[in-house]
Structure 1
Amino acid sequence: MGKKNDILIEVKDLKKYFPVKNGITKNNFIKAVDGVSFYIRRGETFGLVGESGCGKSTLGRTITRLYDVTSGDIFFEENNIAKLRKKQMKQYYKKIQTIFQDPYSSLNPYMNVKELIEEPLTLHTGLNKLERKEKIENLLEMVGLKKDDMDKFPHEFSGGQCQRIGIARAISTNPDFVLCDEPISALDVSIQAQVVNMLEDLQKEMGLTYLFVAHDLSMVKHISDRTGVMYLGSIVEVGKSDDLYKNPLHPYTKGLLSSIPIADPIKARQSNLNIIKGDIPSPMNIPSGCRFHTRCPYAKPICSKVQPIEKEIGTDHIVACHLY
């Protein structure tokens, strides 16, 4: 682990359960995030990958307190924000912002660009009307839009342009931490690289720290300093992105990485595919022991009985698996 003052966000045993009515007599819970612990260093990009439904977005939204915490701790600049009320969180919302997956649904269609970006400035800064206008013009320039776009509404823009507006809105308060919740998955492939490059430029310019949630494993490798692999509400492996992609340890990570398409058909045929079989279990009925044992080709008897503990294998490379 890095030095204490290097760590911007540290999560300890975080849980987020959603109640579900199961018949007439009792309630059940979807265990979307179930005992997650990790940290993000100041100025780095931490990538989070996993199958749909594994809890990536819920984890991100719980850390930013868009969702209330069921249990566990979230330390932001060493202050525990897990149990703070909405009013107490106001001072942190300026420092913690989110870029959402769907650029259209995240923007109010009845507000023009000026009003959309001005809203967080009005709430979180003491800028006057003229200063806010100048700030909005600068922000639009930073994300590759024009000053003339201020009076337009979201429906007048493409998906990529709407996402740029969302990014301008997110960075308007000069935050320390930005949750990028699948910010490129709804965009055309030709636009994705432009948006990712822009996020990297903004990070260098403003000293931002990112939690980058995505399905695109190649893009996560490109943008992330470290990557966490999530399965069924739990993180099974964390490592420096290059190490994790070159030397995956957990069977689930190996299966995920083997699903990355290979452009060369000859190399694709020669590659040793490690396809994950079966369906992901229900988060209402998580398997005992290692939660991946029902789909793991290397499962041993202990895997179904005992939950594996995290072990450090090499520098900054942690895995939760009985094979190590």
Structure 2
Amino acid sequence: MHPRLLRTFLAVARGRNITRAAEAVHLAQSSVSDQIQTLEAELGAALFTRSKSGLDLTPAGLALKPIAEELLRLDGEARAAVLLAAGQTSGALTIGALETIASARLAPWLPGFQASHPEITVRMKVADSGTLRHLLEDGDIDVAFCFERRDGGGAAADERLASRTIGAEPLVLVAAPGQATAPCVLQDLAALRFVATEPGCVYRHIVDTAFAEAGMAAPRLAAEVGSIGAIVRLVAAGTGLGLVPRLAVSDALARGDLVELPWPGRMRAAALAMIWRRRRVQPPALGQLLAAARDMLAPERSGARSGLESGDRSKALFPNNSLKTGATS
């Protein structure tokens, strides 16, 4: 079974639709259909059946799916091992990131990385935290940059994923100019309305956790929106307050579109993390990118707070020099 056929099979299995699968694997719909037919002919069994909701896996397809995923993982590790042994770092990588991290952190950093590593081709996908996780699990991106959840429900809870914190971004309470006064106690804030993202998004988790840790229910929401940009616009219009990482609103604060209010009590920070799939052999290109991101994206103040100098911080984040050896734990 050729890896190309298995990738197409998995794309159809995930999307349950030829059109979506064709977009995922960058092929014409007719090519996707042809490849599925070729794979079915090779195996001597139908892999999909049509239903009202799309293409469903047959018992044969269900049996093939986990094996196809394992074969593709082994194929990737074999290629990585050869490149590593040959001392080559060339390759193509796809980065996934939250909108704010992509624009505020990765956009200024990525051109320098590409200039230093012209042999590595880098693409970027911007999505919400839930989508980034699925893209990682499916192998559609190589690394995700996002804010970590603090309830144990993030990458650390999934043995298939490895995660390293590379910085901490302060959370800020923002409002429209002249729309709110500084709160004295957290109970005052709980009585006000907030603008937040939908449940499941890391930005919504930040709001809910801030109040839950104080033993209070989350405040009423004036609006649930799909992006941090929408939060900024709605808060600036006076719809409600926002609690977000500073980098998400630094430009709006500088322009005077928003004002920062003091948070009553101890303010927390959002952990900025990079997450990737565990492999026995890590692709050299990915190792180069993770090492560069660790060294360049992590703010110096993060290491200073923890008492770690740059060399010690490197050992703490990547024990056993894992980025250089190709290990993933």
Same-fold call, TM > 0.5? no
More helix by share: 2
TM-score by length of structure 1 reads 0.24
TM-score by length of structure 2 reads 0.24
The structure with the largest alpha-carbon Rg is 2
